[in-house]
Amino acid sequence: MAASVSRRFLFTGAAGGASILFLSACSSGASVVAAERTDYSGEVTFGSFRREGEYTAPTRTEPGKNAPVPTLPHNVNEHTVAGLYSTIGFIAASVTYAYQTGDTGRNLLDGEYYKRLDTDSQPSSDYKIWFEAPDVRFTLKDPMPTREGDTYSWPAIMTAKLGSFLVSAGRAREIPAEKREQKYEGTIKARYSDGVWRLKLEELLSDDTNSRSSGGSKTI
């Protein structure tokens, strides 16, 4: 049976819970955070992983095993553009890891994932969903973010490759070929507080943003 899962479900930790992925509506600002690097545009790269044996890809009955575990880069908590960039990379890598392993609950990566989201909601600890071949990446459209008050905005495209099936509630469902790669375009928003960057996600899931980014389709 082909999957018919809403985007809100696809990128949430649980029904009514925190969204796993995010982009937000565009906004403007006048100033940027100081940084050594002057151009961060392009696909976000991330190379901070812990490897624990040979990776086994997900199947229709079992989540992936020994997936590379994202770890916090040394500069991730810096109040710099480099720190924000590393946080964005960590979030993308964490989502990929979660959907490889089915570890989508509130303790994802010892809580470090949700610590970096600007939300009070979290999924239940026993929620599990995985995909055949998930790969989540961000591409930043501008060299630097802009700042308005305590909010930093960075236009971006998020690409999520999923594979041919998903498994949720113990049941495998096929993903139609035309829905196996999804793109979202908008603005990543972030605040720096209590020594960490926190990324905001809710606006990505609004109907108007989804319609603009992917032709109005709301299901996979």
Domain coordinates of the chain in residue numbers? 7-214
Whole-number Å distance between alpha carbons of 199 and 88: 8
User: Residues 38-51: what's their mean pLDDT?
Assistant: 96
Q: How confident is the model at residue 5 (pLDDT cuts 50, 70, 90)?
A: very low
**Measuring CA to CA, which residue among 87, 151, 135 is closest to residue 114?**
87
Using a 10 angstrom Cβ sphere, with 0-12 exposed, 13-18 middle and 19 or more buried, the burial of residue 149 is exposed
Q: 85-126, pLDDT tens digit by residue?
A: 999 999 999 999 999 999 887 778 888 888 898 876 666 566
pLDDT, greater one: 121 or 143 = 143
Helix or strand run (H / E) with residue 136: strand 135-140
Given a contact cutoff of 8 angstroms between Cβ atoms, the answer to whether 112 and 72 are in contact is yes
Q: 83-93, pLDDT tens digit by residue?
A: 999 999 999 99
**How big is the chain, counted in residues?**
220
Count of beta carbons in the 10 Å neighbourhood of residue 148: 13
Report H helices in 17-139.
81-101, 112-115
User: Residues 169-193: what's their mean pLDDT?
Assistant: 92
Q: 127-136, pLDDT tens digit by residue?
A: 789 999 999 9
Decide if pLDDT at 218 tops 50.
no
Q: What is the mean pLDDT of the chain?
A: 79
pLDDT at residue 11, rounded to an integer: 46
Q: How confident is the model at residue 4 (pLDDT cuts 50, 70, 90)?
A: very low
Q: Which residues lie across from 208 on neighbouring strands?
A: none
Given a contact cutoff of 8 angstroms between Cβ atoms, the answer to whether 153 and 188 are in contact is yes
pLDDT at residue 114, rounded to an integer: 83
pLDDT, greater one: 83 or 19 = 83
Q: Is 3 helix (H, G, I), strand (E, B) or coil?
A: coil
Decide if pLDDT at 79 tops 60.
yes
